[in-house]
Structures are given as structure tokens and as C-alpha cells.
Structure 1
């Protein structure tokens, strides 16, 4: 089973946890080659490295270079922006249960680095959500 199917199953079963973030990002990477909407979005995206730090749970990253997206578990060198969150916020952001802007305003999501580059992530996640039939707040 690929990352896309794994993410769909985890979310449908209500079993998605923040520790599954690399699977979600793997689905994003898979879709980058299959989704015309995602390809179009990447064409309009500057190079960026985004680090995710789900405190005491997992670290993962996405990198967009030359309009190509890659993702992985662990840390990326010299991120442009780091998103720090607790486990509940991390789970909610990637299942549509938590609005990232609200989480930021409430202090549940901390953004270190270039805010504009962090905002670009929202569009990418929304495309993945549409592909996976996830409704976001």
C-alpha cells in the first residue's frame, strides 16, 4: 500500500496521529507527480525548506527545489521556516480538525522563520486534502 492509501485509511479510521506525519508528507510527495493541481502550485512556488517539529513526538520536513517536492523524516539543513507544535495540534492540522491560523493565534503553533513561506504550505495541504477527500476547517 502506498502513502496515499495509508493516509486515507488512517484518517478514515480516526487513527491518524502526529507520528504519522512522514506518511502524510510521503503522500504529498507522491501526489506531486500525479496531481495537476499540485504540479501547478509547485510551479508557482519558490524554493523553500520547511521543518516540522512535533514536540516530543517527531520531526519531518518538506523541501521544494526547482519546483520539485521532496519530504522526509528527521531534520533538514538550514530550514527557511520551522513549525513547532504539540502532538494534538500536529494531528489536527493534517486531518483538518485544526485550523493552522487559529492554532497560531492561540499559541499552539509556533512559526520560526519566514511566515510567508509557512503560508504557502496551506495551499499544498489543501490540495492533498482535496485528493484525499478530507474536509478542512
Structure 2
């Protein structure tokens, strides 16, 4: 099974985190990581909307408000899984905000 690294950068406020998937486990951390398979860049508003189900990955990508470098299909699946996890937990997704 291949290992994938997703680097996410949120603007407004500036916040970066990464996730590594592979071999049946995942690891997360704040900041930047070298060698990301996928880089996702968007505003906090766009990410919150995607996770809440109010915005759609493909639409935001086509509008240029969601920037993805690397495997677009994998990024879409990753963001869908985050949204599903939020729905399963039946929680409102609130991202870091000062």
C-alpha cells in the first residue's frame, strides 16, 4: 500500500498542518512537511464550508478558491472523508480562529 502525504495550508488565519496515510495508520502534525503527495491551499471559510457540506470541492477548485497541487482525485477523497468524519461525529466543524 502506498503512503500519501497531504499538506494543507489555510489562509485567514495562516495555519498549516499535514497528514500521512499508509500501512493502515495515519500521523498528523502542525506546520509544513517535505515531500507532500498533495498540497491543498484555501481560506478558512472555504475549508469550513467544504467540511460542513455547504461548499463543494470541485466547484471551489474550478473557481480558484481551492488550490490543489498533486493528485486531484486523492485530494477530493481526502476532503470528502474529512466531511464525512464531521458528519458522523455530528459536530459543527470549527477551524482554528483567533
- Could you state the TM-score of these two structures normalised by the residue count of structure 1? 0.57
Between structures 1 and 2, the one with greater strand share: 2
Decide which of 65, 73, 76 is 2:22's aligned counterpart.
65
> Per the alignment, in what secondary structure is the counterpart of residue 104 of structure 1?
helix
Which structure has more RCO (C-alpha within 8 Å, separation ≥ 6)? 2
Which 4+ residue blocks in structure 1 deviate beyond 6 angstroms? none
Question: Counterpart of 2:95?
Answer: none
Give per-residue Cα distances to partners, 1:17-75, cap 9 Å, x unaligned: xxxxxxxxxxxxxxxxxxxxxxxxxxxx7421001011252011111021211212111
Structure-2-length-normalised TM-score: 0.76
Aligned residues: 91
Contact 2:19 2:29 in 1 (8 A): yes
Runs of at least 5 residues in structure 1 that lack an aligned partner in the other structure: 1-44
- Structure showing greater radius of gyration is 1
Higher helix share: 1
| Number of the residue aligned with 1:49 | 5
**Counterpart contact for 2:53–2:83, Cα < 8 Å:** no
- The CA RMSD measured in Å over matched residues stands at 2.2
| Structure 2 residue ranges without an equivalent (≥5) | 93-98
